Amino acid sequence: MTRNGVTIARSGPSRRSLLAAGGSAAIASILRPGLVRATTSSDKTLVAAEGRVRITPDPYPRTVVWCYGGSVPGPEIRLRQGESLRVSVENRLAQDTTVHWHGLRIPNAMDGAPYVTQPPIQPGDSFTYQFTPPDAGTYWYHPHADSAEQVGRGLMGALIIEEPQPLPVDRDVVWVLGDFRLNDDASIAGGFGNRMEMSMSGRIGNTVTINGRVPDRFPVRSGERIRLRLINAAPARVFGLEFKGHHPLVVAFDGQPVEPHAPEGGRVVLGPAMRTDLILDIAGKPGRSAAVLDTFYKGLEYKLVEISYSGEQPLTTQPLAAPAKLPPNPVPEPDLANAQRHEVTLTGGMMGGMGMGGGMMGGMGMMGGSMWAINGTAMMNDDMRHMKPVLTLARGKSYVLAIDNQTAWHHPMHLHGHSFRVITRNGARTKYREWRDTVLIPPRERAEIAFVADNPGDWMFHCHILDHQEGGMMSVIRVA
């Protein structure tokens, strides 16, 4: 059994020792971190600093992390659609940072991309972000400087924009999925920026968390309907979740509503930064339990958490009506007939595929040592000062980007400031033409995305496996 998961990398603590401690941390791990609730306009301070939190159960000591507001994840920010948010971010870390509001279609100056949209926030300084998110849905926030290490040490938080009329459910539950690499004493292992890992899967951890804790049980009551908001805040790990004995329906991807449907192949796949909202009906009998498995990496499957029913009477014994589709967000519809098309080619990385064996370092040597590239260009180590945009798009026009992953690795490609429709995969039309802000492209596969370039500015377009991003799979798309 491997609750603490996949060990693709060699280093890191023994999983078994973390597991031996087992069971007690349980319920607290599922509870939400503190809420920051807005009224009509919310004025908040978010302090990024070192902290000490409990990730692993007793008898492990607490873990020194970098975090927002003293917790991992940071405080949940929750607004109603149409409300504005003003957050003053104070940097008490020993290095530069910024905050990026992942997935929000907000003005460029508030996007938190260092050097591209703002100077980085230096240690001791602060920066005030202020915006009104146009779309309801499930989003998150994280630093955009030295991201692999800053997210890898705990800087992340959920950002929920509620619909004016929320879906009728008994509970709205957020799972921020995290992945840490811990030593045997529960401290965070060093070795960020390891070039071998960077050229492969990125830094996969050995300790998977829900809302910052190694999970054990997810307590539920028979008959309840849960809206489960899944956020993959891991630096590199892809999740493939199977809810045994349950039939969740997907109602949103990356914050944007989608026709309610069963997950493809019965598995909810989430690349880094991606979100999925599920309607999860707790339809079993009181007292039962069922596993949520993560089966994404073959041979490295593990149980994430146990759905654990109370003995209480069912809330209802009637089957619940199918959930309604969420109301659409005001995202402009691309005009496919007149869209201009651009090819985007992803190259680089170790060519041997999964595993540690052999292979060539495809992108090594080019572009001053970058390992990954987008259309042959690579932006390294957050140095965006000298980058020319890979594409310049005309404001208000529709575009199709045909992304071709020529590498042996998965890449969750994220465009800032816009949501796009995923219109084809490997040349075939997608069934739901889903809106997303991050599209996961498997090795040697292709996807086409379409959107209206309606948000002016320079926008990051990069892989959200943070080691890949820092290894060159990062670029800027200009909308002018």
Binding site for ligand C2O (CB under 6 A): 100, 102, 142, 144, 273, 414, 416, 460, 462, 464
Closer Cβ to ligand C2O, 145 or 200, answer by number: 145
Say which entry of Cu ion, ligand C2O, none residue 465 contacts (CB below 5 to 8 A, set by partner kind): Cu ion
Closer Cβ to ligand C2O, 179 or 224, answer by number: 179
Binding site for Cu ion (CB under 5 A): 411, 463, 465, 468
CB of 298 vs Cu ion, minimal distance in Å = 19
**Contact 239/232 with Cβ under 8 angstroms?**
yes
Closer Cβ to ligand C2O, 48 or 226, answer by number: 48
Say which entry of Cu ion, ligand C2O, none residue 468 contacts (CB below 5 to 8 A, set by partner kind): Cu ion
- Distance CA(366)–CA(350), nearest Å, equals 14
- In sequence order, what are the beta bridge partners of 372? 348
Say which entry of Cu ion, ligand C2O, none residue 416 contacts (CB below 5 to 8 A, set by partner kind): ligand C2O
- Distance CA(188)–CA(383), nearest Å, equals 26
Say which entry of Cu ion, ligand C2O, none residue 102 contacts (CB below 5 to 8 A, set by partner kind): ligand C2O
Closer Cβ to Cu ion, 224 or 254, answer by number: 254
CB of 463 vs Cu ion, minimal distance in Å = 3
Collapse the DSSP code of 367 into the 3-class scheme (helix H, G, I; strand E, B; otherwise coil) and give the result: helix
**Contact 100/139 with Cβ under 8 angstroms?**
no
List, in order, residues 6 or more apart from 265 with CB less than 8 Å away: none
Say which entry of Cu ion, ligand C2O, none residue 460 contacts (CB below 5 to 8 A, set by partner kind): ligand C2O
- Strand duo 41-53 + 63-68: pairing: antiparallel
List, in order, residues 6 or more apart from 309 with CB less than 8 Å away: 220, 221, 222, 282, 284, 285, 286, 287, 288, 289
CB of 104 vs ligand C2O, minimal distance in Å = 10
Angle at 73 between CA 70 and CA 74, to 5 degrees: 50
| Bond prior to 73 in cis (omega within 30° of 0) | yes
Say which entry of ligand C2O, Cu ion, none residue 144 contacts (CB below 5 to 8 A, set by partner kind): ligand C2O
Closer Cβ to ligand C2O, 279 or 413, answer by number: 413
Name the CA radius of gyration of the chain, rounded: 21
- Distance CA(42)–CA(36), nearest Å, equals 9
Closer Cβ to ligand C2O, 411 or 464, answer by number: 464
**Contact 68/47 with Cβ under 8 angstroms?**
yes
Longest dimension (CA), the chain: 65
Closer Cβ to Cu ion, 85 or 465, answer by number: 465
Closer Cβ to Cu ion, 3 or 102, answer by number: 102
Closer Cβ to ligand C2O, 414 or 446, answer by number: 414
Instruction: Look up residue 303 and give its amino acid.
Output: K
**Contact 214/13 with Cβ under 8 angstroms?**
no
Say which entry of Cu ion, ligand C2O, none residue 411 contacts (CB below 5 to 8 A, set by partner kind): Cu ion
CB of 10 vs ligand C2O, minimal distance in Å = 28
- E strand residue ranges, 235-355: 239-243, 249-253, 256-261, 268-270, 275-281, 289-294, 302-309, 340-348
Closer Cβ to Cu ion, 281 or 382, answer by number: 382
Say which entry of ligand C2O, Cu ion, none residue 79 contacts (CB below 5 to 8 A, set by partner kind): none
Say which entry of ligand C2O, Cu ion, none residue 418 contacts (CB below 5 to 8 A, set by partner kind): none
In angstroms, the Cα distances linking 322 to 99, 118, 223, 253, 318 are: 38, 45, 14, 18, 12
Q: Which residue is nearest to ligand C2O (CB)?
A: 102
CB of 436 vs ligand C2O, minimal distance in Å = 13
CB of 403 vs Cu ion, minimal distance in Å = 11
Say which entry of Cu ion, ligand C2O, none residue 15 contacts (CB below 5 to 8 A, set by partner kind): none
Collapse the DSSP code of 65 into the 3-class scheme (helix H, G, I; strand E, B; otherwise coil) and give the result: strand
CB of 384 vs ligand C2O, minimal distance in Å = 11
- Distance CA(159)–CA(80), nearest Å, equals 11
CB of 98 vs ligand C2O, minimal distance in Å = 10
CB of 357 vs ligand C2O, minimal distance in Å = 31
214 φ/ψ sector (left φ>0, alpha ψ -120 to 50, else beta) = beta
CB of 271 vs Cu ion, minimal distance in Å = 9
